[in-house]
Structure 1
Amino acid sequence: MTTIFDTVQHRFERLRSNKLFELIVIAVIIFSALVIGVKTFDVPEWLLSSLNVLDWAVTIFFLLEISIRFIGEPRKRDFFKNGWNLFDTFVVMLSLIPVGNHDMALIARLVRVFRVLRMVSIIPELRLLINSLLKALPQLGYVLLMMFVIFYIYAAIGTTLFASVNETLWGDIAISLLTLFRVMTFEDWTDVMYETMAVYGWSWLYFLTFICLTAFAFLNMVIGIVVNVIENENKAADAAAHAGEPTIVDVHRELLALKRQLAEQATRK
C-alpha cells in the first residue's frame, strides 16, 4: 500500500511541475474569467444554463488540480507553509458554494471572480512581482505617510482660502482632500485652478507647488522604491537559481590543482 502511494505521489510531483500541466491550468483560469464575463451580459436562458455547467466543470478541475499539488508534495506540511497554496485552496473551497437564490449566492459569485487571481500563483513572474510589492511596503509606508501630511496641509489651506469660491470642491477638509487627489491625477485640474484664480490671482502658486511635491517628487520616489525592490528580487532569484553551480574562480582553482598534480606526476617520472 505504501509503495502504491509513493508511486502516485512521485507521478503527481512530476505532473505538477510539468510545463504542459501549468499551461492547461492557465488556460482554464482564462476560460473561467471569460465565463464570468459572459454571464454579465443579457444571454439566453439555455446559454446561461450551459455556462453554469461549465462553471462547475471549472470548479471540479481546480479541485482536482489542488489535490494533485497536495498529493504530489513530498512533505505535506510544506504545502501549507506556502502562502500561495493556502490562497489557492481557500479560493477553490469557497468556489464549492453553489450559486443559487440563497443568501450565499452573492459571496459565491464574488469568489468565482477572484479565481482569476490564481493566475498570480501559477506564473512565477507574477509571484515575483507581488512579492516585490509586499517587500516594498515598509519603505513605501514612510513615503505615503509624508504624502498624506502634504495632502492634509494643502487641504487645510485650500478649505480656509477657497471654501468661499466653491463650496462643492473646498467645503471641508475631506472634500478638499478629494479635490487635491483630482488635481494630482491631472483630472481637469486647470478648471479648478482658474476658478480660484478668478478670486485669488496668486493661487496658481498653490496648485503648482502641490503638483510638484506630489505628482512629480513623491510618486517618482514610489516608483523608484518599487523598481529597486524588483531588481533586488530578480538578483536574489537568479542567485538562488545558480546556487551550487561552479563559478569562474572555482574552475580556475580546479585547473591550477590539476596542473600541480600533472607537474608532480611528471617530476616523479
Structure 2
Amino acid sequence: MNSIRDNSLQGKFHRLRSNKAFELFVVGIIVFSALVIGAKTYDIPPILSQIIVITDWFITLFFLVEITIRFIGEPYKRNFFKSAWNIFDALIVIVSLVPIEDSEMALIGRLIRVFRVLRMVSIIPELRILISSLLKAMPQLGYVALLMFIIFYIYGAVGSFFFAPINDVLWGDIAVSMLTLFRVMTFEDWTDVMYETMEQYPLSWIFYVSFIFLTAFAFLNMIIGIVVNVIESENRARQLEEEGEQPNRADLEVQLQHLQASVDELLKRAGSSGEQR
C-alpha cells in the first residue's frame, strides 16, 4: 500500500511540475521576488519593511516546496541531480534559508536572494537553450577574444608610443591605451579623442578608422555569427529530439493494421469454434 501511495504521489507531483500553469505561476513568483528585492533598495517605512521581510520568507518557503515537488515528481531520483539546472536551483533555495536580518551572513543572504532571479533561466526552456548555446560557443568565442586582445595590444602600444605626449591621461601606458581603445570601439566620444591627436598627426584618423573596422565591425560580427550559428544548431537538435520522441504516423498505421488483422483472426476463430459447437 505504501508503494502504491508513493507512486500515486510521485505521479501527481510529476504531472504538477510538468503543468504549464504551474510553471507560469513559478515564473510569476520569481518576478514578484525580484520586485521585492528591488523594493528593499528604497527608503521605505519600517512597517512596510517588516511586511517585505515576511513576504520574502513566504517566497523562500514556496521555492522550498516547489523544489521538493520537482524532486519527488522525478521518476529516477538520481537523475534529478544529474541536471546542472536542478543543482543550481537547489543551491539557490538552500542558501536562501540563510537569515538576512541581524546575522553575520546577512550580506550573503541578500546576494543569494538577488540571484534567485536567475531561476527564471532554469524554468523557461528557451532561456536554457540560450545559456547552453552561449556555453557551447565559448571555445570558438575564446579564439576570437584572443585575436581581439592581440589587436588591442598592438594598437595600444602604437597609440602609447605616438599619442602619450599629446594626452598622458588617455595614452600614458599600454594598459590605459587599451582602455581608451575600448572607449573608441564602443563609440563613446571617440571623435573627441581622434580630433585631439589629429591636431599633431593629421593622418591619425587612419589609426582609429582601421581599429574600429577590425573590432566593432569585423570581430563583433564574428562573435554574433558564432552565437547565432550555435543557437540554430541547438534549436535544430531540440526539434529533431522532439520529433524522435513522437511516434511516426506511418509506423502507427502499420501497427494498427496488424492489430486489426489480429482482432479479425480472433473473431474468425471464435466464430468457427461456435459453429462447431
Runs (4+) off by over 3 Å: 244-248
Secondary structure of the structure 1 residue equivalent to 2:81: helix
Question: Where do 1:95-244 residues align within 5 Å?
Answer: 95-244=96-245
Gaps of 5+ in 2: 259-277
Range with bigger deviation, 34-43 or 94-103: 94-103
Alpha-carbon distance in structure 2 between the residues aligned to 1:103 and 1:197 = 56
Aligned to 2:93: 92
Secondary structure of the structure 1 residue equivalent to 2:165: coil
Alpha-carbon distance in structure 2 between the residues aligned to 1:210 and 1:19 = 49
Shift of 1:103: 2.4
Secondary structure of the structure 2 residue equivalent to 1:243: helix
The Cα offsets for residues 99-150 of structure 1, whole Å up to 9 and x where unpaired, read as: 1233211111010000000000000000011111111111111111100000
Shift of 1:244: 4.8
Provide closer, same or farther for how the CA distance between residues 11 and 247 of structure 1 changes in structure 2, counting only shifts above 3 A.
Answer: closer
Structure 2: which amino acid aligns with 1:220?
N
Alpha-carbon distance in structure 1 between the residues aligned to 2:246 and 2:74 = 26
Shift of 1:52: 0.2
Secondary structure of the structure 1 residue equivalent to 2:91: helix
Alpha-carbon distance in structure 2 between the residues aligned to 1:182 and 1:111 = 33
The Cα offsets for residues 153-205 of structure 1, whole Å up to 9 and x where unpaired, read as: 00011111111111111111111111000000000000000011111111100
Provide closer, same or farther for how the CA distance between residues 219 and 2 of structure 1 changes in structure 2, counting only shifts above 3 A.
Answer: same
Provide closer, same or farther for how the CA distance between residues 245 and 16 of structure 1 changes in structure 2, counting only shifts above 3 A.
Answer: closer
Alpha-carbon distance in structure 2 between the residues aligned to 1:93 and 1:102 = 17
Aligned to 2:37: 36
Instruction: Count matched residues.
Output: 255
Shift of 1:10: 1.1
Secondary structure of the structure 2 residue equivalent to 1:187: coil
Determine which structure has more spread, i.e. the larger CA radius of gyration: 2
Aligned to 1:261: none
TM-align CA RMSD: 1.8
Secondary structure of the structure 2 residue equivalent to 1:62: helix
Secondary structure of the structure 1 residue equivalent to 2:202: coil
Aligned to 2:266: none
Alpha-carbon distance in structure 1 between the residues aligned to 2:66 and 2:176 = 49
Q: Please report the TM-score for the alignment, with normalisation by the length of structure 2.
A: 0.88
Provide closer, same or farther for how the CA distance between residues 244 and 17 of structure 1 changes in structure 2, counting only shifts above 3 A.
Answer: closer
Q: Is residue 45 from structure 1 mapped to residue 15 from structure 2 by the alignment? A: no
Secondary structure of the structure 2 residue equivalent to 1:158: helix
Structure 2: which amino acid aligns with 1:74?
P
Aligned to 2:7: 6
Aligned to 1:71: 72
The Cα offsets for residues 225-257 of structure 1, whole Å up to 9 and x where unpaired, read as: 001111111111110111154669x57x96xx9
Alpha-carbon distance in structure 2 between the residues aligned to 1:109 and 1:18 = 31
Alpha-carbon distance in structure 2 between the residues aligned to 1:19 and 1:199 = 65
Structure 2: which amino acid aligns with 1:162?
F
Q: Please report the TM-score for the alignment, with normalisation by the length of structure 1.
A: 0.91
Shift of 1:5: 1.4
Alpha-carbon distance in structure 1 between the residues aligned to 2:246 and 2:85 = 28
Aligned to 1:263: none
The Cα offsets for residues 58-96 of structure 1, whole Å up to 9 and x where unpaired, read as: 000000000000011011000000000000001011100
Identity %: 61
Provide closer, same or farther for how the CA distance between residues 106 and 8 of structure 1 changes in structure 2, counting only shifts above 3 A.
Answer: same
Provide closer, same or farther for how the CA distance between residues 146 and 92 of structure 1 changes in structure 2, counting only shifts above 3 A.
Answer: same
Structure 2: which amino acid aligns with 1:231?
E
Secondary structure of the structure 1 residue equivalent to 2:166: coil
Alpha-carbon distance in structure 2 between the residues aligned to 1:104 and 1:161 = 51
